[in-house]
């Protein structure tokens, strides 16, 4: 068995781009000693391939050098690779070859990375189609935001993904398993905070968490930590009914954090909260991401999505109309490409992104005339309006009008 230590791992798989990433970022920076043992940080590898390699090592009981030969020979291009004599290139090819001869195991590894996967999910209530062919793929350690106005189907989708609601057609996998076949142990790796989930009002914050600590088999000393994490340490004995709305949300979040889940589903986690509480909750969500938790959140707050999410999907009338990183989406829809300036004189001017504008801009800066300067990239909301003709909060405003 080779001297192979999996120090730490990071998923670099993203929507089928993993091979590219491996070649560009992974192995090109890997360092090997003369015995062909991995010396460097395993971060440089794609976790998918590291697992693949580990599986082969265990299976064949060979060293890394041995397994590369094994893989290369089995794939049938040993001579050409060996002729190259470059160990790095050799190992790269070996890893890629392992894909060729172990497709099943690779797929299994990929599913492990795709923490949440949905394919062509459809759902109707009576004659009303709520979701029509939803596809999602969310990797480990990502914050994914599902954006859409009220009634777009966000909660329905989250309920289908968490197994609370049956879908009409399509496939949903969580941890690589069909959502309907998740075991009790799997469910304990998932934390769900739905907008309408309540707490036991008459019980204290600590007693509320004790129930779930007992159910999940979590030691009671974790309760203090969970309450401290959400800033409710001072409300340990306070009945939940005496908490403010924001504090109740934090208590519900503490209930989710109690078990340190690998996936968190958060349905409108900051809806109706004040900016300070919202910021605290954003910090908590980011902390979870930092420890490797995958977060699936629904919101109709585009600022929240821009600040928090690695990837967002815009949902409208049951269809995903756009997806990607928030800044990428905004850049994609930046048709105007202008710079807006507010001058000290009070005048507002708009300059185009062009060489001709550069000298004008430079001149104004030299003269110290510029008060503020903004580029014209659209926000997620303006993108949404452009795509659908609707505002994200339109229905909500109508409700309260």
Partner 1 sequence: MRNVLIIFKKQLRDTLKNKTVLIQFIMFPAMTLIMENCINVPDMPELFFTKLFAIMYMGMAPLTSVASIISEEKEKNTLRVLMMANVKAWEYLAGVGLYVWTLCMAGAGVMATGIPNDHIPFFLAVMAAGFIISIVMGACVGVFAPNQMVATSLFMPVMLVFSFAPMLALFNDKIEKIAGIFYTQQLRILLNQMTFDGINAKTVTVLAVNAALALGLFFAAFRKKGLE
Chain residues binding partner 1 by CB under 8 A are 162, 164, 184, 187-188, 192, 194, 196-203, 207, 211-212, 214-216, 239, 255
Least Å from the CB of residue 230 to partner 1: 16
Between 140 and 255, name the residue whose CB sits nearer to partner 1. Answer: 255
Task: Give least dist CB 381 to partner 1, A.
Answer: 30
| 3-class secondary-structure state, position 92 | helix
CB 248 to partner 1: min, Å? 11
Q: How many whole angstroms separate alpha carbon 380 and alpha carbon 147?
A: 9
What tokens does 149 get?
A: 């106005």
Tell me the sheet residues that pair with 187.
none
> Which CB atom, from 202 or from 344, has the smaller least distance to partner 1?
202
Report the Cα 339 to chain-centroid distance in Å. 32
Identity of the residue, 85 or 126, whose beta carbon is nearer to partner 1 in the bound complex: 126
Whether 205 contacts 232, CB under 8 Å: yes
> Is 207 in contact with 241 (CB distance < 8 Å)?
no
- Which phi and psi (to 5°) does residue 22 adopt? -60, -50
Smallest gap from residue 226 Cβ to partner 1 (A): 15
8 Å CB contact between 137 and 114:
yes
User: Nearest to residue 68, comparing CAs of 80, 53, 83?
Assistant: 53
Minimum separation from the CB atom of position 126 to partner 1 (A):
18
Q: Do 220 and 210 contact (CB within 8 A), yes or no?
A: yes
What tokens were used for 236?
A: 């340990």
Nearest to 139 by CA among 311, 330, 323: 311
What is the rounded distance in angstroms from the CA atom of residue 163 to the CA atom of residue 169? 13
Closest approach, Cβ 242 to partner 1, in A, equals: 12
**Of 204 and 376, which has the nearer Cβ to partner 1?**
204
User: Which CB sits closer to partner 1, 117 or 208?
Assistant: 208
CB of 187 to partner 1, least distance (A): 5
**Residue with smaller CB distance to partner 1, 64 or 256:** 256
86: Cα separation from own chain's centroid: 36
Closest CB to partner 1 among 2 and 243? 243
Strand spans (E) along 233-287: 263-267
**361 contacts 349 by C-beta, under 8 angstroms:** no
Joined together, the tokens standing for residue 50 give 């590291």
Element (H, E) at 159: helix 154-161
Question: Which CB, 257 or 330, lies closer to partner 1?
Answer: 257
Q: What is the closest distance, in whole angstroms, from the C-beta atom of residue 190 to partner 1 in the complex?
A: 8
């Amino acid at each position: 068995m080779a001297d192979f230590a999996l120090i730490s791992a990071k998923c670099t798989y993203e929507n089928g781009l993993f091979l590219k990433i491996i070649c560009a970022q992974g192995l090109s920076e890997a360092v090997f000693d003369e015995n062909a043992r991995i010396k460097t940080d395993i971060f440089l590898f794609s976790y998918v391939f590291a697992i693949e390699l580990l599986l082969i090592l265990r299976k064949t009981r060979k060293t890394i050098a041995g397994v590369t030969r094994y893989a290369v020979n089995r794939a049938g291009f040993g001579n050409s690779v060996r002729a190259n004599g470059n160990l790095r290139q050799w190992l790269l090819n070996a890893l890629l070859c392992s894909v060729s001869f172990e497709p099943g195991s690779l797929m299994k590894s990929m599913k492990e990375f795709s923490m949440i996967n949905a394919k062509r999910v459809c759902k109707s209530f009576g004659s009303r189609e709520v979701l029509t062919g939803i596809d999602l793929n969310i990797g480990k350690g990502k914050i994914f935001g599902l954006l859409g106005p009220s009634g777009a189907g966000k909660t329905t989708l989250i309920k289908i993904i968490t197994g609370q609601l049956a879908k009409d057609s399509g496939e949903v996998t969580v941890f690589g398993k069909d959502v309907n076949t998740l075991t009790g142990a799997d469910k304990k790796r998932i934390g769900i905070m739905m907008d309408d989930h309540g707490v036991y009002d008459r019980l204290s914050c600590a007693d509320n968490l004790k129930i779930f600590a007992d159910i999940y088999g979590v030691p009671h000393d974790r309760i203090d930590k969970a309450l401290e994490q959400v800033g409710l340490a001072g409300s340990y004995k306070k009945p939940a009914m005496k908490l403010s709305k924001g504090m109740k949300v934090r208590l519900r979040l503490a209930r989710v954090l109690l078990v340190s889940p690998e996936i968190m589903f958060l349905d409108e986690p900051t809806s109706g909260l004040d900016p300070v509480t919202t910021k605290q909750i954003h910090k908590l969500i980011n902390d979870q991401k930092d420890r490797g938790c995958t977060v699936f959140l629904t919101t109709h707050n585009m600022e929240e999505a821009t600040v928090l999410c690695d990837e967002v999907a815009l949902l409208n009338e049951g269809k995903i109309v756009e997806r990607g990183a928030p800044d990428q989406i905004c850049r994609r829809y930046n048709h105007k490409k202008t710079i807006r300036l507010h001058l000290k004189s009070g005048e507002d001017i708009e300059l185009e992104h062009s060489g001709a504008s550069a000298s004008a801009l430079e001149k104004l800066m030299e003269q110290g005339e510029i008060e503020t300067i903004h580029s014209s990239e659209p926000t997620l909301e303006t993108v949404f309006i452009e795509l659908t003709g609707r505002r994200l909060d339109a229905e909500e405003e109508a409700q309260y009008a």
